[in-house]
Structures are given as C-alpha cells and as structure tokens.
C-alpha cells in the first residue's frame, strides 16, 4: 500500500501533549508512525508542511445534515425526501470542506436521509465525512416535535410514541432502516411554549425501553434534554449522548461525573448565542424576541452547567444545531470560540473536545481522534497557529490539507 509523509509540521496530536515539530507517516488508511524532530523516513509521497499546524480532523457532535437555511420546522416537513437527499449530501460536503472528518448524527428531516448519504459516502461516490447517521427525532404526544392539533393532524419532524411498547417499535423501525444514532426528545424546548425547556414530557419507562432496544441492536442512543429530571432519567437509563443539558443541580452533576467514561455531552450553544446576540434578527428572532423566549436565562444555565462539567472531566463535543439560516453547515468550528468564551476552556482543551472526544464518540474502540501510530488517518493541516487564534478554523482557506481515512480530500497547492 502507498505511504505518504506529511513532513515537518507543528503537530497537535490531541493527547494533551504540547505541539511539537515532527512528521507523520501514513500507510493506507492508518498512521504508521509519528516522528519527532527532523528525521524523515522514506515514503512514496511527501507533503512538505513547512511548520504548519497539523491536527486530527474534527467531529461535529450533533449533526443535522439535512438542515439548510432552516427558519422554521416547516422547512423540514414540507420538502420531499428526494430533494432533501441532495440537501443532506450538500451538508455532508460542507462539513468535510470545513475540516470535519466525522459527524455524530442527531436527527434529520426524514428518517433515511443521513443513512442514504452515509452509504454513498462510504461507497466513495460522493464526498463527505465519516457519518454516524441519525434518523427522525422520537418524541411523545404534546411534546417537542408534535405540531398537530385536534382539528389539524399535522405531521411534525418527528416520530410520536406513547408508552414503552410504541417506543420499542419506533426504535426497532429506525434500526431496521439503518440508523446508527437514535435520538429521543426527552425534555421540552423554548420553541414549544406548552412544554418549555425545564419540563420532562417523556417518561423514564419510555427512555429505558428506547435505550435497551437501541443497545440490543448495537446502536447509540442520544437525547435532547434540557431539564434536570430529563438528564437524570437519561443517565439512569443508560443514554450515550446528552444534548443541551442547560439545567442542573448538584446531584445531576455528580451523576454525570460518575458516568463520564460512558457518556458524551454536547452543549449546542451556537443556536442560543445567535438568537441572543441578534445574529438571527433578520429572520425575526431579535435579541428582544430571544428575551421573551427566555434564551438569555438558558445561556446562563448553560454556562453554569457546562463549566462545572468541564471541571469534572465530562467529555464535551462541539457543534450542534447548525443548518439554520443564521448558522450554515460548515460553520461549526465557531463553537470552539464559544467553548472558550462561555465555558472557560483553553484553546488546546477546546480542540481536544473537537478531535479526541469526537473520535471516541464516533468509534468506541479508540481508533479515531488523535495523531498516534495505529490510529485512522483523519487530519487537517492549518496555515497558522490555531492555539493562538482558534478562529482560524472557521476560515476554510486556511485549511490547506484535509485527509480522511488516509485519502487526501484537499492537498496543498
């Protein structure tokens, strides 16, 4: 198999080591060796990095590939699946273009959109990152995702279930259709006034059934959970990924710390940041509207909870809820700035959330997310000192090389 040497880079390997000068030898789709200093082993192809910043590829931790220019759930419900497959394919490409070599799926506008795109990407027919495909959100009557009324049986962007048996059927259906990541809507949400974020419409019995069923099929299970009760129920039931998690108390923080080796937490702060700072004002969500919706209060809770989780060593992932009109697919790297500003992360530790933690969420065998011998070769070479200015990663022109699975998707001119 052909070998490639990325020579003389400043290597950020995401193992907590300080960046160092060295070279990386890639054999097939794996990193064969990492050479510290000036030594250069023989290789079939050599790419001169000239001291540029080499880091592992990033993982979007809560992907919605089929969201594009969304301003309302109508944009998810109305389009036909045939068109939406193209939307999801564009979302996948935008992520890879932005240095995201993996996406950990949350939910999609239709059940099989990410499944279809994942299969095409894996077959090498379209460009995209590694994809753990999400399906539809699974919710309960009257909660987030249920947009029907007695007089108007409107179907929302979700599968609705009531009771453990209906939950079992819904999760099995998702597994049959090829979904990797199941997503539950456990808590309420500020976009659904009858079930605000601190409420918990889904019952523990429903969550537990979903977890046991998903795990029986070897799939991961994740939850939209903002409420304290919802997050506690998720931990007790064995949920793998917790999305949002703004509200907390001491007991919940203790539970999450105890479960830190088996859970991942994704704050998805960009949506609220956009709403509260007027970036969504052109679409009717002014800072004043965000105030009525209670968004500044949710941001305060998010800061408290996720700062505490960082201090307790709980694994955070970046990304989440991109694909709205104010947050294009591919802009996910700006979450690194949010992690520093809101949760007190150092640049290096924020980058570890984006790379090592993301790799661990994608593949439980530890084969992804760091630059070490034996790991899968997903890397990005950046023109500039990323640790000095993390915003460089939001500029795709600075990403001079993008490698996924040992193949060069983008190479230096």
Residues near Zn ion (CB under 5 A) are 106, 321
Contact assessment for residue 96 and residue 371, using Cβ atoms and an 8 Å cutoff: no
Identify the DSSP state of 354: I
Give the start-end residues of each E strand in 12-69. Answer: 20-27, 30-36, 45-48, 53-56, 58-63
Query: Torsion-angle region of residue 218: left (phi > 0), alpha (psi -120 to 50) or beta?
Result: left
Cβ atoms of residues 79 and 87 within 8 Å:
yes
Residue placing its CB nearer to Zn ion in the complex, 108 or 233: 108
Say if residues 82 and 38 touch (Cβ distance below 8 Å). no
Q: Which candidate, 319, 397, 366, 352, places its Cα nearest to that of 129?
A: 319
Residue nearest to Zn ion (CB): 321
**Which of these, 400, 360, 409, lies nearest to 54 by C-alpha position?**
400
Contact (CB, 8 A) for 361 and 322: no
- Which of 63, 128 has the CB closer to Zn ion? 63
Nearer to Zn ion, 60 or 206 (CB): 60
- Which residues 6+ apart lie within 8 Å of 291 measured at CB? none
Report yes or no: 223 and 245 within 8 Å, Cβ to Cβ: no
State the minimum distance, in angstroms, from the CB of residue 321 to Zn ion. 4
- Nearer of residues 53 and 100 to Zn ion, judged by Cβ: 100
Q: Rounded to the nearest whole angstrom, what is the least distance from the CB of residue 333 to Zn ion in the complex?
A: 17
Closer CB to Zn ion, residue 321 or residue 405?
321
- Min dist CB 285 to Zn ion, Å, is 16
> Smallest distance from the beta carbon of 55 to Zn ion, in angstroms?
26
List of residues 6+ apart from 282 with CB closer than 8 A: 325, 326
| CB of 206 or CB of 321, closer to Zn ion | 321
Quote the least distance from Cβ 66 to Zn ion, whole Å.
12
Q: Quote the least distance from Cβ 64 to Zn ion, whole Å.
A: 6
Q: How far is the CB of 134 from Zn ion (least distance, A)?
A: 9
Burial class (CB in 10 A: 0-12, 13-18, 19+), 199: middle
Q: Is the dihedral of CA 300, 304, 309, 311 positive or negative?
A: positive
d(Cα 327, Cα 104) in Å, to the nearest integer? 18
Would you say 4 or 225 has its CB closer to Zn ion? 225
Q: Which C-beta is closer to Zn ion: that of 97 or that of 321?
A: 321
Min dist CB 226 to Zn ion, Å, is 11
């Amino acid at each position: 198999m052909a070998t490639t040497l990325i020579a003389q880079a400043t290597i950020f390997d995401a193992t907590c080591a300080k960046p160092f000068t060295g070279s990386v030898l890639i054999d097939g789709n794996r990193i064969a060796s990492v050479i510290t200093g000036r030594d250069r082993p023989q290789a079939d192809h050599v790419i001169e990095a000239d001291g540029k910043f080499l880091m592992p590829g990033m993982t979007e931790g809560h992907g919605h590939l089929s969201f594009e220019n969304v301003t309302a759930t109508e944009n998810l419900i109305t389009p036909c699946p045939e068109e939406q497959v193209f939307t999801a394919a564009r979302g996948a490409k935008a992520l890879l273009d932005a240095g995201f070599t993996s996406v950990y799926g949350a939910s999609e506008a239709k059940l099989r959109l990410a499944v279809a795109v994942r299969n095409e990407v894996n077959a090498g027919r379209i460009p995209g990152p590694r994809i753990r495909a999400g399906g539809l959100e699974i919710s309960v009557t009257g909660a987030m995702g249920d947009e029907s009324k007695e007089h108007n049986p409107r179907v929302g962007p979700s599968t609705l279930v009531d009771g453990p048996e209906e939950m079992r059927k819904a999760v099995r259906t998702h597994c049959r259709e090829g979904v990797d990541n199941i997503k539950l809507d456990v808590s309420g949400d500020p976009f659904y006034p009858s079930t605000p974020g601190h409420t918990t419409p889904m019952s523990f019995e429903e969550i537990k059934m979903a977890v046991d069923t998903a795990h029986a099929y070897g799939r991961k299970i994740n939850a939209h959970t903002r409420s304290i009760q919802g997050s506690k129920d998720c931990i007790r039931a064995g949920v793998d990924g917790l999305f949002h998690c703004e509200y907390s108390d001491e007991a919940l923080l203790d539970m999450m710390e105890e479960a830190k080796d088996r859970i991942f937490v994704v704050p998805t702060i960009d949506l609220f940041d956009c709403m509260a700072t007027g970036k969504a004002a052109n679409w009717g969500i002014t800072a004043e509207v965000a105030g009525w919706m209670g968004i500044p209060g949710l941001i305060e809770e998010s800061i408290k909870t996720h700062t505490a989780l960082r201090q307790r060593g709980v694994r955070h992932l970046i990304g989440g809820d991109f694909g709205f009109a104010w947050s294009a697919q591919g802009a996910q790297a700006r979450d690194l700035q949010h992690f520093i500003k809101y949760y007190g992360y150092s640049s290096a530790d924020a980058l570890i959330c984006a790379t090592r933690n993301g790799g661990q969420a994608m593949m439980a065998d530890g084969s992804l997310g760091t630059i070490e011998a034996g790991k899968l070769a997903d890397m990005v070479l950046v023109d500039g000192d990323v640790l000095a200015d993390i915003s460089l990663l939001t500029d795709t022109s600075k990403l001079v090389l993008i490698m996924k699975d040992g193949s060069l998707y983008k190479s230096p001119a």
